[in-house]
Structure 1
């Protein structure tokens, strides 16, 4: 009976309707079976109910399994119930509660001898950490799950699940070589399992990897094979997922008509199967296709419905990616206000993820330090005990043989000296390691520039400065690579990394050694100039634009032209006489950068100062910088780039710099 239930397991995952019928037929007979068999039947019933969209029935199954496990005082059975309930809660978009149950289930599973269950729990917890953006912990958990699954030779399905999870995580972390090696092992195992469903799952994972590295032909071939397998199986859920992925591939190839066709088919299929997460993906793909085809209102409606689901799931990395795509799509069709809104939503999530990763790094360093400290204490105690033993022996020898006292004393002094030298040497090595760790914590590993954390610490310690008018001021410049996503999509992420390294190198050339250059995040760079002529800030912006545009990145036979958009301002800024905090100045510079993006790219927008401030507020200016500029509350400079695609200046725009002030209307409208 137990083996018959396990044989239905694949159907529970891929063809749940058929599995549900077979499992329900076994319920009466299972009442006479051992507790472990009855528990597995309830577990598979919850999976089948979940996959058919019957969430209330699935939840009832999980509660029954949890109660049964507690009544039997069986940790493994209880862990199965908690895992099953976490899957139902996640499907209901109750992500936080689902994560807590998964963590509790893993603790129970690790106490049991059921290796397959332990591997399943470790994979689930690893995926939970990945969805929260904590990739180092996620990698540790899933690698642990893979080791456990290799021990559980009687259940190769769990090994397949661990390999699948690890391939996806390596892809998310952009470790593409490792992802490809793990994928090949998984494909080989899928063939040995003779399971069409598992092979379809492996091909879907291959699709995800191929898209990430820009191999779109390979991605479409893999996903088309998965679609054919799912149709033969009669898996509506699998068909919906495969159609959604094909839609996404054609979006990347700019074939919007075919992308919309596959997205609509996916939407219909996912609504039949009740797969809400995949329904949101289908809506996001359909929205992109509609926006590209000029169907703006329909596209925005589909995007907002998709975002609502992602926000419920609290999957921050995925939500961040979707919001970035949304903003770029709105920008392409000219909806600047909508694009700004999406951009700020995405930036909020990006800051949250950055802060979480920073806290995690601090905790890991602290834990490592505490471990090393305890080890040193153990070593010192051991040496201390040895010394005490030597002293006792010396006392006994002193009572028996007085003439050996001088020799023993000399030997003791020698030992103490050696130990003292060793301690000094160990302390010196520790100091070197601490200096190395400190250097690593303030530098970006790709570009060797300062990182965001170091800049934040620097600015917190920096005085606000004198807000009075003077010729010598500080300045903040924020740069963003134009069409960086297109570079990644066209040439691969390695080409994108080469572009970022080139930018870092030429920013060092364009600026002074005393200027601080920071890898702000992704393709964004920030520069702080502590002392520059107030009238020379525009010249710095022009120098940056020209320096970068004059370079080309040679990559695999391609010559890649790189341009940037820039936002900048003097620092400190004091609209009402009181200097603004540096964070607000960076926010205003960020908005100026976005205006440069929205108004044509390859240009710099500089915030020179404020006017008529008694008629407005800083909050209103931060809400919409362009509106404040056009109303005459903000004085902007525009520096145009020299590249061929830049908009040419008018004859009055001397030296490619435009200082623009808009007239402020009084209360009578004059």
Structure 2
């Protein structure tokens, strides 16, 4: 009896101890609600396939994107069936397919008619998803005609409805169209935002038809930012996605290849530009739209310009301008006028070039394309100068100067967004690691429940074994949490450092301003200088010696900043070859004198590289005598003033410091 009593006591104590230790894990909280995702994604295709002719109609819809003639025959046969009018979904998809067919056949006006019929039918049947689809199609048609305001109105309403009913498939399409309009309006950061929203939805819709289009349009942003390597990389990625889906229309590949040709045109690579154009030409078919024909003809004109066949280039531009329907496509017509003007200037036909440039600007204004308008102003200034008309040359140079400044600001805003996206991507990966750890903890909880059941059966040995097991698992969890915490610390450090130079980046600047707002007692009586520094003609170094040498120059310059500027100063790589520093006045030397010191050591000492010694200079715009309160409250305005002085330094000879207006 004593033995039984002792064993019973050990068993009770063991079980109680085990239950006490496992309590904090919530293994016995059976009444806890289980969180589930109840969001239902709307898909009209899933409704259609449940109908007798649903699959056949979906196949025709897919076919309508790349074979207009065959799709037209099949849908007319299907529409003749008596049962085709039995359900409104049939009529809705009929209008959608006919819209695609008309676009494929290049009949834009007829496509617009079917899109309007689709909208009327949606309102008649009170189908919100169909109304959103119709508005999206009408917006695309309006965008091609250059009517961006109307297109934007349609898209905003389409986006609102799609969000309301959780129509993710249409939202992806809408975000792509909104991004394209933002590109045409030269708002690149907003375009990036829309494209990234679309890509986030594509993570759960990987087979969406617009996957390739969105990646290709991201390449367009990098073309405008003159980030050629990134543009080519995105084009290659888009082409790869396109090749994985046989349902996509050839027009996507046509645009990708002409964009690729235009990148090589800007780089002066004649062979690659000609190769990409030739591949784009092969994608054109007899029923290709005027828009696609214009895009390919303009690409050919650019290639001929590189080959110095200026007369032939003008002939191709004239072919583009003579296309039936080109008058309704201001973007394409403006580009063809621009290409023609460049060839006329190469031949010395400056009066003709001026006429072409004015025509191009007239079309650019219709779509509010700042980058194109600014480029044309520069060409006009050059043409008038060649004709000896100095007053008009100066007039258009001033317009170019103001426009170029606006475009540079847009580019910098886009670079900032790219940095933020990079940080967000790191944060997302960190969140994924945390979620994985939580899942492992949940797995442990399930194992613990099984373990408790066994313990209650009364096996003392199993109780002790289970205790050891749980303790080990708890230690594993603690180790994983410590690793995760260490990873978070490293992530914060990495996110505020520039990977190439080791200097701080823009995110650290934001943290610095925040820390001042929280406690500025250390700098209460301090004055600062804020300066923006930009290496002169840095693009030539990359073009002449390659990006590896360019990177070596940036690293060397960063080291000089760190050696010459005081340790209390804040030195940031702002983007590309541009840097920002915040320097505190010292008792023995002013911050402006310190800035002159670093300027002198950069211009006087060449950079030793594998390509030999390279002389470099730097232009600096600065704002002096900045109090800590001004720095906290008006840092954005101060940076803008310094940027304006940098711009002045650049355009008045470079290699200088400008600290006053």
Would you call these one fold, judging by a TM-score over 0.5?
A: yes
CA contact (8 A) 1:473 1:534 kept: no
CA contact (8 A) 1:230 1:236 kept: no
Equivalent of 1:133 in 180, 185, 192: 192
Shift of 1:301: 5.2
d(CA) in 2 for partners of 1:4, 1:251: 42
d(CA) in 1 for partners of 2:284, 2:602: 53
Shift of 1:85: 3.8
Match of 1:596 in 2: 649
1:439 aligns with 2:498: no
Match of 2:43 in 1: none
Change (3 A) 1:352 1:305: farther
Change (3 A) 1:364 1:51: same
1:479 aligns with 2:540: no
CA contact (8 A) 2:535 2:617 kept: yes
Change (3 A) 1:488 1:365: closer
Shift of 1:531: 3.7
Match of 2:137 in 1: 84
Match of 1:338 in 2: 399
Shift of 1:603: 2.2
Higher relative contact order (CA 8 A, sep 6+): 2
State how 1:419-458 maps to structure 2 within 5 Å: 419-458=473-512
Shift of 1:452: 1.4
> Structure 1 stretch 123-132 or stretch 589-598: which is displaced more?
123-132
1:541 aligns with 2:596: yes
Shift of 1:600: 1.4
Shift of 1:267: 4.7
Superimposed CA distance per residue, residues 233-289 of structure 1 (whole angstroms, 9 cap, x where no aligned partner): 685333322243355567889999987776666455486352233234446667888
Equivalent of 2:298 in 238, 244, 257: 244
State how 1:208-607 maps to structure 2 within 5 Å: 208-211=262-265, 215-223=269-277, 226=280, 236-246=290-300, 266-267=320-321, 269=323, 272=326, 274-282=328-336, 305=362, 307-311=364-368, 322=372, 325=375, 337-350=398-411, 353=414, 372-384=433-445, 386-387=447-448, 390-391=451-452, 393-397=454-458, 404=460, 410-411=464-465, 413-462=467-516, 463=520, 473-485=527-539, 499-532=553-586, 537-538=592-593, 540-541=595-596, 543-544=598-599, 546-547=601-602, 550-551=605-606, 562-572=616-626, 581-607=634-660
CA contact (8 A) 2:602 2:616 kept: no
d(CA) in 1 for partners of 2:173, 2:259: 16
Match of 2:389 in 1: none
Change (3 A) 1:518 1:545: same
Change (3 A) 1:69 1:431: same
CA contact (8 A) 2:293 2:320 kept: yes
Equivalent of 2:258 in 204, 222, 245: 204
CA contact (8 A) 1:510 1:547 kept: no
Superimposed CA distance per residue, residues 390-434 of structure 1 (whole angstroms, 9 cap, x where no aligned partner): 44544442xxx7xx4xx6665455345324322321221111111
CA contact (8 A) 2:536 2:655 kept: yes
Change (3 A) 1:9 1:231: closer
CA contact (8 A) 2:603 2:615 kept: no
1:46 aligns with 2:107: no
Match of 1:629 in 2: none
CA contact (8 A) 1:563 1:602 kept: yes
CA contact (8 A) 2:527 2:585 kept: yes
* Aligned-pair Cα RMSD in Å: 5.6
CA contact (8 A) 2:219 2:230 kept: yes
Shift of 1:527: 1.8
Structure 2 residue matching 1:342: 3-state secondary structure: helix
> Structure 1 stretch 441-450 or stretch 341-350: which is displaced more?
341-350
Superimposed CA distance per residue, residues 517-560 of structure 1 (whole angstroms, 9 cap, x where no aligned partner): 212133321122234555562563364255257435868x7986
CA contact (8 A) 1:23 1:41 kept: no
Superimposed CA distance per residue, residues 423-449 of structure 1 (whole angstroms, 9 cap, x where no aligned partner): 321221111111121012212334332
d(CA) in 1 for partners of 2:316, 2:604: 39
Structure 1 residue matching 2:640: 3-state secondary structure: helix
Structure 2 residue matching 1:447: 3-state secondary structure: coil
Match of 2:155 in 1: 98
Shift of 1:379: 3.8
d(CA) in 1 for partners of 2:504, 2:166: 43
CA contact (8 A) 2:265 2:273 kept: yes
Structure 2 residue matching 1:519: 3-state secondary structure: strand
TM-score normalised per structure 1: 0.64
d(CA) in 1 for partners of 2:426, 2:172: 24
Shift of 1:455: 1.1
Shift of 1:219: 0.8
CA contact (8 A) 1:484 1:523 kept: yes
CA contact (8 A) 1:283 1:306 kept: no
Shift of 1:486: 5.1
d(CA) in 1 for partners of 2:128, 2:442: 40
Superimposed CA distance per residue, residues 285-304 of structure 1 (whole angstroms, 9 cap, x where no aligned partner): 67888999877986885675
Shift of 1:456: 2.6
d(CA) in 1 for partners of 2:163, 2:546: 38
Structure 1 residue matching 2:207: 3-state secondary structure: helix
